[in-house]
Amino acid sequence: MEDILVIHSGAGSDQSYNPRLERYARESFRQSGALDSVVEAVRIMEDDPDFNAGTGSVKRIDGTIQMDAAVMTAGSIGSVVNIERVKNPILVARAVMEKTPHVMLAGDGAVTFARRIGFEDYDPSTPRTEELYRKALKILSGSEKDIPERYASYLKYAGIFGIPENKDTVGAVARVSGKFAAAVSTGGSSPMMRGRVGDSPIPGAGLFAGEKGAVVATGIGEEIMRRSLCYSIYHQMGKEKLEDIIKREIDGFRGVLAGVIAITEDSYASYSNSSMAVGVYRFGK
């Protein structure tokens, strides 16, 4: 059985990133285990300012950056929600899983925990982050010409509701020595309210891993949560071809951006209803 690591840079991401992701997958694969592999892959992507996770995460309407991340293996979960001013949320999520009795830490509690275990203060904003923020403010103020239809509800409800613009969440699934793991990290979406939580850190929605395989989702978080997308796919594993399962699930998101990477004991697959950059590393035994 091959050991395999599959990573993505988000539903809606340009496939010109594929060679970069192939390199990242190769560099991050660890024979020490599936968990080590997915965490390292996501850490590398968090450090790439072109992706909306870790460094380069987008700002919320109030100008702050709040990030989400999660890791999962069969029977173990670690998640951070709305964490701020840390370089690698995925490493904090792993620490929640391995060093606390909890599954999830949020907000200032997550930040306090991160500081206590040695994560220094870090500003993840970049010039790209600032440009996206300025664009969001123009849209919300109504000063941007030709406002996309997806922002209409923001203007109607004074910025309380709306569909996110940025979808470049990063994620990874792996099978190593017959064991599975999943990891995901995101800076959220823009524009969005402070405190908004998407699917990424929610087990069963943004990710799921168990004895049968692992799944990671990307796209419009609110719709992914409503459908418990990753658990739905995991529950069907082994009943038919993995490719058929994920295609049927994603095709059900009519008009709503969504994508998935998934792996089982005998196959792996990726599928999105939009462009999605993917990298795969296969280590034969």
136 has pLDDT over 80: no
> Could you count the other beta carbons within 10 Å of the beta carbon of residue 243?
14
Contact between residue 30 and residue 23 where contact means Cβ atoms under 8 Å apart: no
Residue ranges of alpha helices (H) inside 172-279 are 221-227, 229-236, 242-251
- Look up residue 151 and give its DSSP letter: G
121 has pLDDT over 70: yes
- What is the reported pLDDT for 159? 36
Position 92, amino acid: V
- What is the reported pLDDT for 61? 86
Integer Cα distance of 50 and 20 in angstroms:
11
pLDDT digit string, tens, across residues 17-27? 999 999 999 99
Instruction: Give the chain's mean pLDDT.
Output: 90
Task: Look up the CATH number of the domain holding residue 254.
Answer: 3.60.20.30
Integer Cα distance of 37 and 67 in angstroms:
21
Share of the chain above pLDDT 70, in %: 89
- Number of folded domains in the chain? 1
> Which residue bears the tokens 């399962």?
245
Radius of gyration (C-alpha) of the chain in whole angstroms: 18
Contact between residue 38 and residue 91 where contact means Cβ atoms under 8 Å apart: no
Token pair for residue 280? 């795969």
- What is the reported pLDDT for 262? 98
- Look up residue 178 and give its DSSP letter: T
What is the reported pTM? 0.91
> Which residue bears the tokens 């990063």?
170
pLDDT digit string, tens, across residues 250-273? 999 988 899 999 999 999 999 999
Domain span at 144: 3-283
- What is the reported pLDDT for 158? 35
Residues annotated catalytic, as ranges: 169
Angle at 6 between CA 226 and CA 94, to 5 degrees: 70
